[in-house]
Amino acid sequence: MAENKRDFYEVLGVSRGASDDEIKKAYRKMAMKYHPDKNPGDKQAEDKFKEVNEAYSILSDADKRNKYDRFGHAGVDPNAGFGGGGFGGFGGGGGFEDIFDIFGGMFGGGGAAQRRRNGPMKGRDLQYAITISFEEAAFGTKKQIQVNKFVACHACDGSGSEKGTNKKACEKCHGTGEQRTVKNTPFGTFQSSTPCDECNGTGEVNEHPCKECNGSGKVRKTVTIAVEIPAGVDNDSVISIRGQGEPGTNGGPSGDLYVVVTVTPHKMFKRNGSDLILEMPISFTQLALGDDIIVPTLSEKISYKIPPGTQPDTVFRIKGKGIKSVRTGKTGDLYIKVELEIPTKLTGEQKKKIKELGTVLGQESYTKKSKFAETMKELFK
């Protein structure tokens, strides 16, 4: 969700017409400034470092930069425009490993990216949007959703190799996944690392790739997943289901699935946190004389006594008739706002009776009206 992200050019401090070299130089400067090795324990610097890396990953790629220039963040957001039943990756497994190589061992971690490529990596997290009714949100529900995603290949059990065979260590890099080069300069000797071109940085060579998954260890499949939606969820609530993302690599754990909830509006009730608000039309007679009214709740009808002389827009509270809070477990209240409804379709006889009632009541029956009249007399003496 990219609505709160800063402009990528602003992040790197370059103009929109900046050249590739200018962008690379700006990135090196910013990454050096906020690198975790230089700012240990500084959460703000860590966030800035991630922001700088993300900006560079887009602006250093010609295709992504073009999409970003045309459509902004939405053009490079894999989740932009997804609807019910859709999903997008959150990252987890892609990362910025290649970006770090630009430092060439500058921070003493020359082979960090390759080691990460060799080591266990968590699978991609996925996102799924679901729409439920107001009542389902209030009381909780169970849903079956279908997600099209990568799963471990059944033919090779996710290994990527034909059954009965194994990958072997790359002879070119001796299983390290990286090729090291040493350069002598007037400033000293510098060592840098690049991914091995023989095994693409994995450290292993697959001589007998699985025919089902072409050696990737993953196949795309539509999977049915049960989702438990707790009582009290609201719009934009996110339900996390561990391990239901895509499979990891090199023995890494599977990613997670994040279900984003949208709740349809109710015909009668409005919601404020765990409280419910009901606007209820009441007649003049009921407000003036008081009445026992029938009030709907989400689960039942209850009787409530309105006292005589109740004014329009008065709000009454009925405890414990709201919605259960996901966070605290406590149930909110129901607030009833009474609204005076004036009849519009009157017969001649009804109009006559209302005029007679007005004469009988007199101005003194109306406290506010009487005070208003007295104040007006004083103003125009």
- Tokens 């200018």 identify what position? 22
Sign of the CA dihedral with 173 first, then 179, 185, and 187 last: negative
* For range 340-354, the mean pLDDT: 91
Q: Closest Cα partner for 112 from 98, 122, 124? A: 98
Q: Are 141 and 229 in contact (CB under 8 A)?
A: yes
Beta carbons within 10 angstroms of residue 374's beta carbon: 10
pLDDT at 110 over 80: no
Whether pLDDT at 192 is above 50: yes
For the cut 80, the answer to whether the pLDDT of residue 285 exceeds it is yes
Q: Given this model, what pLDDT does residue 117 score?
A: 55
Model confidence at 65: pLDDT above 70: yes
Q: Tell me whether residue 265 is exposed, middle or buried, using C-beta atoms within 10 angstroms of its C-beta: 0 to 12, 13 to 18, 19 or more.
A: exposed
User: Is pLDDT larger for residue 116 or for residue 154?
Assistant: 154
Alpha-carbon distances of 21 from 96, 136, 183, 244, rounded to whole Å: 19, 54, 22, 41
Confidence of residue 188 (pLDDT cuts 50, 70, 90): low
Q: Alpha-carbon distance 336 to 348, whole Å?
A: 34
* Mean pLDDT lowest among 63-72, 96-105, 313-322, 363-372: 96-105
d(CA 125, CA 148): 13
Instruction: Report, as an integer, the average pLDDT of 334-339.
Output: 97
Least confident of 3-12, 215-224, 343-352: 3-12
Q: Which residues pair with 89 in a beta bridge?
A: 126
For the record, the structure tokens of 217 come out as 């260890």
Taking 60 as the threshold, does the pLDDT of residue 111 lie above it? no
Q: Provide the β-strand partners of residue 272.
A: 275
| pLDDT band for position 108 (cuts 50, 70, 90) | very low
The predicted structure's pLDDT at residue 229: 95
Lowest-confidence range among 70-84, 87-101, 185-199, 239-253?
87-101
Provide the pLDDT for residue 104. 44
- In what helix (H) or strand (E) does residue 145 lie, and over which residues does it extend? strand 141-152
Note the pLDDT of residue 367. 75
Q: Please give the average per-residue pLDDT across 13-30, as a whole number.
A: 89
* Nearest one of 141, 147, 130 to 263, comparing CA atoms: 130
The pair of three-digit structure tokens given for residue 185, joined into one six-digit string = 């300069």
State the pLDDT confidence band at 245, using cuts at 50, 70 and 90. very high
- Local structure of 64: helix, strand or coil: helix
Do the strands 275-282 and 334-340 form a parallel or antiparallel pair, or are they unpaired?
parallel
Output the pLDDT for position 249: 83
Lowest-confidence region among 88-92, 132-136, 155-159, 289-293: 88-92
* Predicted pLDDT of residue 78: 67
Q: What pLDDT is attached to residue 4?
A: 67
**Mean pLDDT for the stretch of residues 183-193:** 71
Residue % of the chain over a pLDDT of 70:
86
- Its pTM stands at 0.61
Q: What mean pLDDT comes out for the span 80-95?
A: 41
* Residue carrying the six token digits 């169970």: 142
Among the listed residues 28, 88, 33, 35, the one whose alpha carbon sits nearest the alpha carbon of residue 56? 28
Q: Is the confidence at residue 370, as pLDDT, over 90?
A: no
More confident residue, 186 or 22: 22
| pLDDT value, residue 102 | 46
Q: Which residues contact 238 (CB under 8 A, 6 or more apart)?
A: 258, 259, 260, 261
Residue 97 has pLDDT above 60, yes or no: no
Structure tokens at 272: 């404020």
The predicted pLDDT at position 310 comes to: 95
Q: What span, in angstroms and rounded, lies between the C-alpha atoms of 92 and 125? A: 6
Mean pLDDT of the chain: 84
Alpha carbon distance 237, 216 (integer Å): 34
Q: What is the largest CA-CA distance in the chain?
A: 108
Of the pLDDT bands very low, low, confident and very high (cuts 50, 70, 90), residue 239 is very high
d(CA 261, CA 240): 11
Judged against a pLDDT cut of 70, whether residue 106 lies above it is answered with no
3-state secondary structure of 48: helix
Residue pair 126/90 in contact by the 8 Å Cβ criterion: yes
If you average pLDDT over residues 272-287, what whole number do you get? 95
